[in-house]
Amino acid sequence: MPYVEGKPFGEGPFNALQAALSMAEGYGFSITNYDNYVGTADLNHQERQLDILAHMDVVPAGEGWTVTKPFEPVVKEGKLYGRGTADDKGPAVAALYAMRAVKELGIPLTKNVRLILGTDEECGSSDIRYYYEKEKEAPMTFSPDAEFPVTNTEKGRLEGHFHASFAASEALPRLVKIEAGIKANVVPGKAKAEVEGIELKTLEETAAQVGKATGISFTFEQRPSVTEITAQGAGAHASTPNEGKNALTGLLCLITQLPLAECPQLSLVKSLVKLFPHGDTCGKAIGIDMADELSGSLTLAFSMLAVGAHSLEGVFDSRCPVCATEDNVLKVVREAMAGEGFTLENDSMLPPTM
Ligand SMILES: [Zn+2]
């Protein structure tokens, strides 16, 4: 989203914030707009005791909408459909209505509650950093942006970025390229590759076997010199990778089963299958499978990969329980990847919060 003067996160978040603030103002709350990064609504003018953090921006609309289009909300059978109804506009409105109920019932209060509406939660929360550069946080804060009733622990995160370069090879049959993934925190539902010098029949036979084993389906499109392979799985949020079917890891299974000529590129792709095998959503193969009672199991989603003639780069998203440290996660991953010829670019990870 290009930066536009006065609309730091583009048109959509800007419009959503304007709409939310005018709603809040309509209910008689005093509002403040922090340069369209964040807007706030105050319950009263007392000393601030509680901040409620919600956000007006949404994740990309994606494909596969059946009940309505992502930005044409409808109510059907008592449910509201549309992008952001659950994350996080619905909860923001619920919080606003809770404040409205307290206000309209005339319940006497000695402290203030402030609803803080952000517009960049999904892309790094620079909105909230901007806000807290100007304002102090209240003694208590909660965010209606997770499961009910309450989450008081958050897993750590390693968004791993890695790369490798290698000598190009023209030997046939060969892998021309791989392109997969849209965001680090999304399990790819679709992944594409191009191969050269392989019969369609061989591709289809191998795809049938791999499809059976992985649950990923494959289609082929023949171009003048190459065949494009599309792997179709099911997308999911990277924090719950077992709810999806990772098209990227499925695609890598297929590619490494094809009778391709040996070359440095192919052996690195085989290493990726070793480190991130299809169906391994807990980092077992790479050596960081761990769990604790408080925050559950580590999860890992191999979410993005671009492979070309002489280099590759990839991203994975790991959510780490409270027992995770840089020693037992970051260091282990770095060494495992280095052992297979990859450079992990991260020098730190986001620690768990509790
Ligand atoms: Zn959210």
Residues with CB under 5 A from ligand 1 (ion): 87-88, 145
Average pLDDT over residues 209-213: 98
Strands (E) in the chain, as ranges, are: 30-34, 38-42, 47-55, 74-76, 79-81, 111-118, 140-142, 156-165, 174-180, 186-187, 190-196, 217-222, 227-232, 236-237, 291-292, 296-297, 299-307, 311-320, 343-344
Q: How far is the CA of 88 from the centre of ligand 1 (A)?
A: 5
327 Cβ contact partners less than 8 Å away, ≥ 6 residues apart: none
CATH 3.30.70.360 maps onto the chain at: 156-344
pLDDT class for 135, splitting at 50, 70, 90? very high
Res 1: pLDDT: 52
Q: How far is the CA of 273 from the centre of ligand 1 (A)?
A: 32
pLDDT at 3 over 70: no
CATH 3.40.630.10 maps onto the chain at: 11-142
Q: What percent of the chain has pLDDT over 70?
A: 99
Classify 11-142 by CATH class: alpha beta
Task: Give residue-wise pLDDT tens across range 167-195.
Answer: 999 999 999 999 999 999 999 999 999 99
Res 62: pLDDT: 85
Residues recognised as catalytic: 57, 121
Q: What does pTM read for this prediction?
A: 0.71
Cα–Cα distance list, 252 to 246, 264, 307 (Å): 10, 15, 11
pLDDT at 11 over 90: yes
Res 5: pLDDT: 82
pLDDT at 2 over 70: no
Q: How far is the CA of 122 from the centre of ligand 1 (A)?
A: 7
Q: How far is the CA of 258 from the centre of ligand 1 (A)?
A: 41
| CATH T-level topology, domain 156-344 | Alpha-Beta Plaits (3.30.70)
What SS3 class is residue 347? coil
pLDDT class for 286, splitting at 50, 70, 90? very high
Cα–Cα distance list, 211 to 207, 233, 274 (Å): 6, 10, 18
pLDDT class for 146, splitting at 50, 70, 90? confident
DSSP state of 158: E
